[in-house]
Structure 1
Amino acid sequence: MAALDASIINIALPIMRRDFHTHMSTIEWVSLSYILTLAALIVPFSRLSDMFGRRWMYTLGFSVFIVGSFLCGFAPSLLFMFLSRILQAVGAAMLQANSVSIITAATPSHARGKAIGIQASAQGVGLSLGPLIGGALITLVGWRWIFYVNVPVGIVGTILGILMLPQDAKKSLREKFDFLGAVFLAPTLVSLVYILNSGTQANWTSPIVITSFIVLIVGAIAFYVNERRIASPMVDLTLFRSKIFSLGNLTGLLSFAVMYAVMFLAPFFLDNVRRLDALTSGLFLTAIPIGMTIFTPISGAIADKFGPKRPLVIGMLAATLGSGLLAVTTVWYSVLITLLGLLLVGVGMGVFTPPNNSQVMGSVPTNRLGITGGMLNMSRTLGMGLGVTFGGLSYQLFLGAEGVISESRATFSQMIPAFRDSYLIIALIALVVSVLSAMYAGQRKKDMKAPIDSQGMSHVAQK
């Protein structure tokens, strides 16, 4: 439901702009308000779920998401829509803060990769069906139904959550919630996500961008100092001493940056250079989530049986090859090569993500599963924004190297090498992720054998 909602909304924005009689720069906040709220709350909710239980937090998230979705569909004004999207994002943050941690807690270690792979596959299905279902709903009954459709699904999810999710273990140690850490972290993450999501169109000297950078720097320093000095921090910084935790989150971020940079650039190439219509470009792009959907459960099962190193490395090598083929097809265009390149990027993400997430979740004590799942989801969100910003900026920089002053005046002979070089840089990043994955995958046994004390904290982390 969450992936479907994320992929549906972009299709509806042009129609919503006309209905609300506003500008594109304003209607974009329908999407941006959701993303920023999610960024601000997912880590605090992850910490709360570790402290008070994941089952009811997840179930409550469904209920809040339902109410927010209904109000979005009902919205009589743009301000009402913004507030409803914020409420919807609150529910989504509760869901995302707990999904991977619930699966990890309920699944034996020898089947964890497969279980997380099935969950990732469900996300791929949602991303794949979003444009199709969204287009059908908008055409047949109007854009409001892209929100109303969440209501029956959410009701079923709430009921199943109450009936079927496992009971949370009783908490033997009740820790205090780090309110000050939440106060520092929320504006820091909001500023970072805003900068990443506005990077392709923002004026870097504008007051709002400069203010965002200041808030980001000051907030990050204040958060770090606060987390170092208190007994029950929002984010246990000792977790970063584990190579699996640190590099797993970093490579997860970079992998999503690779995919979203490709997803950002591909439509512009197909439209500006190949002159394809929006429907045909959309069909090309479905190759990425289709590749993810098929290979995530397969990769998880392989990682469970043979270890994570091979699928981690092979996954990012596939994404490297896919990005390289997209660079080739900018010069020697072929429908088959273009589809194969996009498919390999999706296959690479499908092969890489389950063992990466499984390794990270398996490297932490049970009382840190919630915050770890939240960090993984936050890495994904930051990677999406970074990919869009990096894809756009790299293309603009390579256009500038071709002597282009205004993007609208670029010729085919100038656009083609700019797209080619951008894809090559993306391929290089995917290759770096593959190398990093090969380095940290070997640490798996060492980290997972760390003894856990009565409070659920590994002695390695305590040191």
Structure 2
Amino acid sequence: MDLRLEFPEPAPAPFLSRRASYPWLVVGTVCIGAFIGQVDASIVQLAMPALEDSFDAPLHAVSWVAVGYVLAYAAALPMFARLAEIGGRKALYLVGFALFGLFSALCGLAPNLPLLILFRILLGASGAALGANSLVILVAAAGPERRGKAVGVMAAAQAVGLSLGPALGGALLAAFGWRAIFWVTVPFALIASALAWLIVPKTKVFAKDARFDALGAALLAPALVALLLAITELPTWGLSAPLFVTALAALILLALFVWREAKAPAPLIHLSLFRVPAFAAGAVGVLVSYGLLYGMLFAMSFALVRGYHDPSYAAGLRLTIVPVALGIVAPFSGALADKRPRLVMLGGMVFCGFAALALTRLLTGAPASLPGVMGALAAFGVGLGLYIAPNNSATLEAAPADQQGIAGGLVNLMRVLGTGVGVAAASAMLGWRLEVIAQAHGRTAGASGPQLLAAVGGALLMLAALAALGAVMAFIRNDPETRQRKASAPSLPPSHEPLARPAT
């Protein structure tokens, strides 16, 4: 499909665009979006027990409040990235901010669970319109001389948002209830929308090739829906016909999508990069690491609220230790990995795996065990801090030099998919173990504290296995030959501008 379009875009305010500090005004505006995106992603994990109680719904149903957002984000991200290249970035960025605020407010007003899930799906699509454009806008405005510092500022904004989410969510849940966790992002979105209108520059460069892969887009969304549906509903459906049909549909649709992207003249996603072994291993590592992060936040929310009977504000503060430890270690892990990248990443996954295993023993429900639980959560965050930044960097480095932007887009997509897979898998394992241990019919409130903690232990074992997979991905990469692989790697046709590279 050939799309010859150019979205109408307002010019930035002259009294701002003429200022010497104008590039940093653009950077600051983009960082607001990066901040609220990470707050939203982390704040909702703590609300799962409250949503289960409020709607009297089973675990597999309320988990779609988190999974639906990620699913829509992942499905819409490549499409919005391509549309922005063809028609302009600022227009989609403004629309994304406005819709993000609108659907956040509607989430807080939702009268029932199906509508809340629907609004979260629409919120995820709105977030994709921001994510597809934010870093590209930032890098273009900062220019080569400020690029590193600007990306670092954005990474800091994301880290602050991720760290603030659990604590802020716990405080809001305790004071105002679950609706407040969605309303809190509305004022940020409104402020950012106004600033983006006044500050963000108009799009100057458009893709020369205006073709849009409509068939690929039509295959990607149902493929991801079927995949995550099969994972999330496994405890409810069991080994039944609905599960087999859904899993088979996911495999067929994913195969058709891969086939289409290999043939499309202007594909949404350049899958050819996965022929580079080091890139493929690193991309799986990205999925694993973010699956570990959000799977842990999801499972431990139930452990603390249901197993230890923590008030939500206390549970939020305890969960904050994971992203805080990650954020403290991550800046140093890159320097450590310069000489021994494989060793640092292996060490990170060892920390994560042993921390998850230790938690299966430490989660007794007794207050005296909480210091040990906090120590294990800190070790888990340290492990992720040692792994994520070096793995992301090494994955991008494994791509051919002229395809770094495209590689960044794929890394960004794997990060989002990892978030969804981690939550869906943790929910499925927790629900299955609850049924085996307590016959709770998918409701965590139907189990006693010890039964709930034993079920969480099953989810933690799954996370430990995921950490082992991450360690394997770190081990199989061949670092001394990275440059040689890059030189001999297949080059992809530069059919359009690259997708946004995620900040590490």
Normalized against structure 2, the TM-score is what? Answer: 0.72
The one-letter amino acid paired with 2:287 is: L
Could you say which residue in structure 2 is the equivalent of 1:329? Answer: 362
Could you say which residue in structure 2 is the equivalent of 1:5? Answer: 40
SS of the residue corresponding to residue 477 of structure 2 reads: helix
CA distance in 2, matches of 1:47, 1:308: 33
Could you say which residue in structure 2 is the equivalent of 1:236? Answer: 270
The one-letter amino acid paired with 1:427 is: A
CA distance in 2, matches of 1:229, 1:367: 21
| Preserved CA contact (<8 Å) 2:269 2:410 | no
Could you say which residue in structure 2 is the equivalent of 1:262? Answer: 296
Equivalent in 324, 341, 353 of residue 290 of structure 1? 324
Q: State the Cα distance separating 1:185 from its structure 2 match.
A: 1.1
Query: Structure 2 vs 1, CA of residues 317 and 78 (structure 1 numbering), >3 Å: closer, same or farther?
Result: closer
CA distance in 2, matches of 1:84, 1:275: 30
After TM superposition, list the pairs within 5 Å mapping 1:103-252 onto structure 2.
Answer: 119-138=154-173, 140=175, 143-161=178-196, 170-171=205-206, 173-199=208-234, 201-205=235-239, 209-252=243-286
Give CA deviations for 1:289-319 in whole Å, capped at 9, x if unaligned. 111222233334655x657545433332332
Which of 351-360 and 73-82 deviates more?
73-82
* Identity within the alignment, %: 31
Give CA deviations for 1:330-361 in whole Å, capped at 9, x if unaligned. 58974333212111111221232223223334
Query: Structure 2 vs 1, CA of residues 113 and 421 (structure 1 numbering), >3 Å: closer, same or farther?
Result: farther
CA distance in 2, matches of 1:171, 1:130: 36
CA distance in 1, matches of 2:89, 2:345: 29
| Preserved CA contact (<8 Å) 2:93 2:133 | yes
Q: State the Cα distance separating 1:161 from its structure 2 match.
A: 4.4
Query: Structure 2 vs 1, CA of residues 278 and 84 (structure 1 numbering), >3 Å: closer, same or farther?
Result: closer
User: Do residues 384 (structure 1) and 413 (structure 2) align?
Assistant: no
Q: Which runs of 5+ in 2 are unaligned?
A: 1-35, 441-445, 496-504
The one-letter amino acid paired with 2:349 is: M
Aligned length: 452
After TM superposition, list the pairs within 5 Å mapping 1:400-439 onto structure 2.
Answer: 406=439, 423=460, 426-439=463-476
CA distance in 2, matches of 1:75, 1:220: 33
Could you say which residue in structure 2 is the equivalent of 1:62? Answer: 97
Query: Structure 2 vs 1, CA of residues 435 and 224 (structure 1 numbering), >3 Å: closer, same or farther?
Result: closer
| Preserved CA contact (<8 Å) 1:265 1:391 | yes
User: Do residues 353 (structure 1) and 391 (structure 2) align?
Assistant: no
Query: Structure 2 vs 1, CA of residues 148 and 165 (structure 1 numbering), >3 Å: closer, same or farther?
Result: same
CA distance in 1, matches of 2:81, 2:453: 44
SS of the residue corresponding to residue 231 of structure 1 reads: coil
Could you say which residue in structure 2 is the equivalent of 1:87? Answer: 122
CA distance in 1, matches of 2:142, 2:487: 18
Q: State the Cα distance separating 1:154 from its structure 2 match.
A: 2.0
CA distance in 1, matches of 2:50, 2:432: 32
Could you say which residue in structure 1 is the equivalent of 2:20? Answer: none
CA distance in 2, matches of 1:79, 1:417: 30
Q: State the Cα distance separating 1:4 from its structure 2 match.
A: 1.4
CA distance in 2, matches of 1:409, 1:455: 55
The one-letter amino acid paired with 1:436 is: M
Give CA deviations for 1:24-65 in whole Å, capped at 9, x if unaligned. 576665445433322321232234345555555444422321
The one-letter amino acid paired with 1:174 is: D
CA distance in 1, matches of 2:397, 2:339: 16
Could you say which residue in structure 2 is the equivalent of 1:318? Answer: 351
CA distance in 1, matches of 2:148, 2:468: 23
| Preserved CA contact (<8 Å) 2:430 2:456 | yes
Give CA deviations for 1:92-127 in whole Å, capped at 9, x if unaligned. 011233445666778899998987666455334323
SS of the residue corresponding to residue 202 of structure 1 reads: helix
Query: Structure 2 vs 1, CA of residues 206 and 117 (structure 1 numbering), >3 Å: closer, same or farther?
Result: farther
Could you say which residue in structure 2 is the equivalent of 1:446? Answer: 484
Give CA deviations for 1:245-281 in whole Å, capped at 9, x if unaligned. 3111101112223334433444555567666565544
Could you say which residue in structure 2 is the equivalent of 1:461? Answer: none
| Preserved CA contact (<8 Å) 1:320 1:430 | yes
CA distance in 1, matches of 2:386, 2:127: 25
| Preserved CA contact (<8 Å) 2:105 2:183 | yes
Which of 273-282 and 3-12 deviates more?
273-282
Could you say which residue in structure 1 is the equivalent of 2:373? Answer: 338
Alignment root-mean-square deviation, CA = 4.5
CA distance in 1, matches of 2:426, 2:369: 22
